[in-house]
A and B are shown apart, each in its own frame.
Chain A
C-alpha cells in the first residue's frame, strides 16, 4: 500500500490509497482523479496519463523504458520529471509519492 497525492494544475490535492501491483495511473482512474485520461487503459499506447513526479521520488519510480521515452517525447509540456503514470508500479516504497498532473493531456 502507498498513499499517493495527486495535485492538479491549479494546486488541488487529492490523496489515494494505492495497492501494490497496480499502477499510479490505475489508482488515479479508479479514484476518479481528474487530469489523467489514460485512453488506452495502460498499454503505453496513448500518452494521456502524463504526470510530473516529485523530485524526492525520482529515484524510486524506476527507469523509463524506451517506449515510454518516445511517447513522452511527443507529449506537451514535458519536463525532466515527466513520466507516464501507467508505467509506474505501486509498491510500499512509493508511500508518500506526490505527482502533479499537467493542464491538458492532449
Chain B
C-alpha cells in the first residue's frame, strides 16, 4: 500500500521496549495480526503492563481494583507466548548487531524493535524536591506511595495546574484533604487550552474548595526530619504541606534512541507507520514525535489514543498489513462530575465558538482557524465531541452561528458537512 521502507514481514524476533499503553497494544496487535515468532517485552516497572489514566482518577480514590488496571492477566502472556522481562531497564540499542542490552548485562536480538519507553515527569528544580512525601504521579508505584497519605484533613500541595494536577486536586477534595494548587502561569491549563476553559475549571475547583494560586512562584520546599512540611513561595508565603505532588509536565524517554543515532527532536521522529530513521526500529506513544496528518505538522502527543494508534500502526507496518486508520488526536479528563472530552489540537485557532452553557456544566468550546474546525473542548457533551472528531477529520468548515445554535443537533451538523 505504498508504504516506504524495509519489508519486515518475515521478522521472527520482535522486541518491545516498554510496558505502557503503546507497548501493550503493539504486542496485542502483533499476535492478533497473526505474528507467530518470538515476542519479548522489556519493561523497567515491576508490574504487568497496565493503563495509566485511572491512576490520577478512580484508582487513586480507591474506587478501582488494581487488577482492573492490567491490560491482560499474566496467563494471557503465557498463552500467547509473550516473554515478559520486567523490572529491567534496557540500557543500549546496538543497531549494527540488532540487539538490545539490558541492565543486568544480558542482551537480546531483534529483527524488528518497537520503542515504547514513554515519558517521565519533569522534576522540580528547587530546593527540597528530594524531601520525603514529595511525589510524582506517573506510575503505579507512585500511587502506592501517595495513596496512604491521602487522609482526610491533611494538606496536599499540588505543583502545576495541568490535567494531572487538577485531576489529583479533584480526587484530594473528594477524599477530604485540603488542597492547594500552585501554577506559575496566569491561568490553569494554560499550556493546553483556551482562557474560557481555564476560567471554567478554575472556578469549578474554587467552588469545590481548592485553593488555586496562579502566577505563583514557588521558591522551595521546607521539611523537618527529612519530610516535607511546607511550600514556600518567592513572596515568603508559607503553605503547610503534608504531601506535595509535582505535575509540571513530562519529558520523552528518547535517550536510548538518541544514543543509538536514531533521529530525535523532542521525541523520537517517526513516519506515518511509526517507523524511525532506522527501518527496523519503530517508536510509539509518548516517546515518539509523529506526523499529524490532519494538521500538516509533526508533534509528540501525550494520550491514550496516540499510544494505541501508534502501537497498531507499528504492528501493521511490521506485518506488512494495511495501515490502520489515523484519527485526529483525542483526549479526556475526569474531574468531579465533569467529563471533558477533547478532539483535535487547538493551537493556532483564530476564533472560539461556545455552544451550551458553562453555568449548566454542559457546554463545548469549538476552535476554528480560517473557518475550519480544528478542535473542541466538550464538557459533559459527548455529541459535540463525537461530531467534532468527524468534522475535524474531514477538514470541514462550519458556520460559527450553526455551531452555537443548540436547536441544530450535532448529528445534523456532521451530516450536512459530510454531504
* A residues neighboring B (CB under 8 Å): 21-22, 26, 29-30, 32, 34, 39-41, 43-47, 67, 70-71, 73-74, 106
Contact = CB atoms under 8 A, between A and B. Distances in A.
Given A22-B68, A39-B304, A71-B382, A30 B76 contact: yes
Contacts of A47: 386
A39 B382 CA distance: 16
Interface of B: 28, 32, 51, 53-54, 65, 68, 71-73, 76, 80, 304-305, 308, 325, 330, 332, 334, 339, 341, 380-383, 386-387, 411
A32 B32 contact: yes
Contacts of A40: 53, 304-305, 332
A26 B72 CA distance: 9
A35 to B, nearest CB: 11
A67 B411 CA distance: 15
Contacts of B334: 43
A106 B386 contact: no
Contacts of B380: 67
Contact of B382 (A29, A32, A70): A70
CB-CB nearest 9 A-B residue pairs: A74-B386, A70-B382, A45-B332, A41-B51, A71-B382, A70-B383, A39-B308, A67-B382, A30-B73
Contacts of B304: 39-41
Contacts of B28: 32
B341 A74 contact: no
Given A32-B72, A71-B386, 12 more contacts: A26-B68, A29-B71, A40-B305, A41-B53, A41-B304, A45-B339, A67-B339, A67-B380, A70-B383, A70-B386, A73-B383, A73-B411
Contacts of A46: 305, 330
Contacts of A34: 32
A67 B341 CA distance: 11
Which of B53, B72, B308, B382 has the most C-beta atoms of chain A within 10 angstroms of its own C-beta?
B382
Contacts of A70: 381-383, 386
A67 B54 CA distance: 18
Nearest to B385: A45
B167 to A, nearest CB: 12
From A22, A29, A40, A71, name the one whose CB has the most chain B CB atoms within 10 angstroms.
Answer: A40
A51 to B, nearest CB: 18
Interface centre among A21, A39, A44 (most CB of B within 10 A): A39
Contacts of B80: 32
B53 A39 contact: no
A21 B332 CA distance: 23
7 contacts: A34-B32, A39-B305, A40-B305, A45-B339, A67-B339, A70-B382, A74-B387
A73 B32 CA distance: 29
Contacts of A26: 68
Contact of B76 (A22, A32, A74): A32
B374 to A, nearest CB: 20
B127 to A, nearest CB: 38
Contacts of B53: 40-41, 43
B178 to A, nearest CB: 28
